[in-house]
Structure 1
Amino acid sequence: MPSRSSALLLLLACSMGCVRENFFQPDARLVTTSSPAATDSVLVTAGRHYQRGPVHNLLLGKHYRPVWATPVWVPVFDPATAVPGGLKPGKLGGGFQSTSMTVLGSDGREYALRSIDKDPYKTLPKIFRKTFALNLVRDATSAANPYGSFVVAPLAEAAGLLHTTPRPFYVRSDENGLGEESELFRGKLVLLEEKFEDRASLTPAFGKATDLLESDDVLRDRFADPSHRVDQIAFARARLFDLWIGDWDRHEGQWSWAVYPDANGPTIYRPVPRTATRRFFGSRMVSFPGL
C-alpha cells in the first residue's frame, strides 16, 4: 500500500496538474486606481497570484503570500525624473529568473532596474517546463519577502555596512522610455538601485575610498602584495548580517570592494555587498515523514 506521504504527494501533483496558463498577474496595478498617466503613484500588488487557499498553503506553505498580495502605494517610474538628470536605457541583464536592465544616469552612474517578481522557468530542464513541476518552482517564489531589499538598507546602515538604497516603482503599461526592451517591464513592480562596480560609482558615503574592485582583482592584489589586506572585521560583520537576514547563498560575484590606500601603511579593502536574491527567505511547508 502506498504510504501516507506518497498519497499526499500524489494528491499535490494532481491538484497542480499541468503547467498553469497565465500564472502571473497581468498587471501589478489594481484596476481600482487612477490611470498611471494621470498620477505619480498607484496602488499595486507585488504578486497577488501567490494568494492561494488553505489546502495549498498547508501543503506548500503559507510563506509570504499575504505580503505578496497586499496592496501598497508606489511611485510611477518615469525615466526623466527617477534620478536627477534622468535615466537612459542600457544593457539588458538578468539571470535565469529576474528581468533586469542597466540604466544610465546623465552623470555616468549606472543603476540596476529589476523586476521584483521572478520566473524560474529557465532553471528547469526542458522536459519539466510544461508539467506541474513548473507550477511548484514558480510558487516557491512566495517564500521570499518581495520587499526585503527595502528593509535591508536601513538595517545595513545601522550595522555600519556600505550598501545600496533601492527604491520601488511601477512601470506603466505604455512605458516606452526603456527602448526596445520596454515591453519586458510594462505593468511590473520593479526595484531601482545604484550599481557599485567601479570608481565612477563612488559616493561620499565611501569616505576616502579611491576605487571599487571585483573580488578576483582583490584576491590577485592581496596575494601579490602582503601590504594589501581585506578588512576582516568588516567582512565578518557583512557575512553575519547576511546570515541574520537569511541571505545564505551569496557568492564572490555579489561583492564589490572599496579600496582605501595609505601611503604610510597597508591598502585596505572593505566589502560592499551587492543585492542578492534571497532576503528573509522563509519556506514553511508541510513535512512528509519518511521522505
Structure 2
Amino acid sequence: MIKKTLFFLLFLLMLSCQMTTFNHISYLNKVNEIDSIYRMRNDTLQALKMYRSLFKKYPPHHSNLIEEYQTYIMISDKYHQDFGGKKSLYKLLPLVAPNWKYKRMDSHFFALYKKYGIDSLEVEERVSEWEKGLNKRLVDSFSIASLRDQEKHRRDLVLQKKNDEKNEQLLLWTFTNYGYPSLQKIGLWGNNNTFLSMGTLLNHAADSKRYPYFKEKILDYVKSGECPPEDYAEMIDKHSLVTRVPEYGTFSNVPITDSIKVNKNRKNIGMPSLKHSKKIHDEYFKE
C-alpha cells in the first residue's frame, strides 16, 4: 500500500511539473483537431494514430467532455492497439477520480482494468489514495465557499455581495499560496458531498471590481492547464453581458452575430469551435 501511495504521489508531482513546461492551449487545440477527426469525420484509426503521437509528447489529460486519454485507451483496446497496458491504466485513474462519486464507471471500464490484471478493489483503493492526496486545507475552504456562494439561493443581494467578497478574498489567497485550485488539488466533491464548482465561483467574480485582475491571472492558469478554458470563457462572457457581445459564445440565450470571430477567440484559449462544441455536448449527454 505504501508503494502504491508513493507511486500515485510521484505521478501527480510529475504531472504538475510537466504541465508548467508548455502552453496547455497548444495541447488543447491538438486535442480538438483529433476529436474533430474522430467525432465529425468518423475516422477512428486516424484519430487513434494522432492520439498515440500526442501522448508521447504530452502528459495525459482530460478536456471538458472529450476525456481524451480515456477515449484513446478505450478505442486502442477496441482495435487491439498497444496503449501502454497497466502503466497507462494507472495514469488514467487520477483523471477519472474527481468524477468518481458523481459518475461511477460502468462494467466496461472495470472489465478493461480486469483484462490487464487490475481488479475493481484495487481501482477503488487507488481512487481512495488519490483523495487522500488532495489539499485538505483547500478542500475545507472551498467547501465553505461553495455553500456560502449559494446561501439563501443568492436572493438576498446584500448577503450575496458580502459572500462574493469573501470568496474573492479566498481566491486571491489561494492564487498567492497554492496557485489555482484545480481538480487535482481539491477534487470535485468537498466535505459532506458539497459540489465544488470553480466555474460558478469564477462566474460570480465576473461582476467584481477585481475583474481585470482575474481576467489576466486566470488566463495564466488556462495556459498552465490548471483551469479549464470553459470556466474562464464563461467568466469573460458573463462580464460581457453588459455589452451583449459575447467573446466565446458560452451563453445559449445570447445571440452570436460574428461566429468567425467567436470561433477565433475560442481557439485562442483552446476551446473547440461552436459547431464542434455542440456535437460534443449533444453526444455526451445523449449517452
By the TM > 0.5 criterion, same fold?
no
| TM-score, structure 2 normalization | 0.24
Quick check: which has more Rg, 1 or 2? 1
| TM-score, structure 1 normalization | 0.24
- Return the structure number with greater strand share: 1
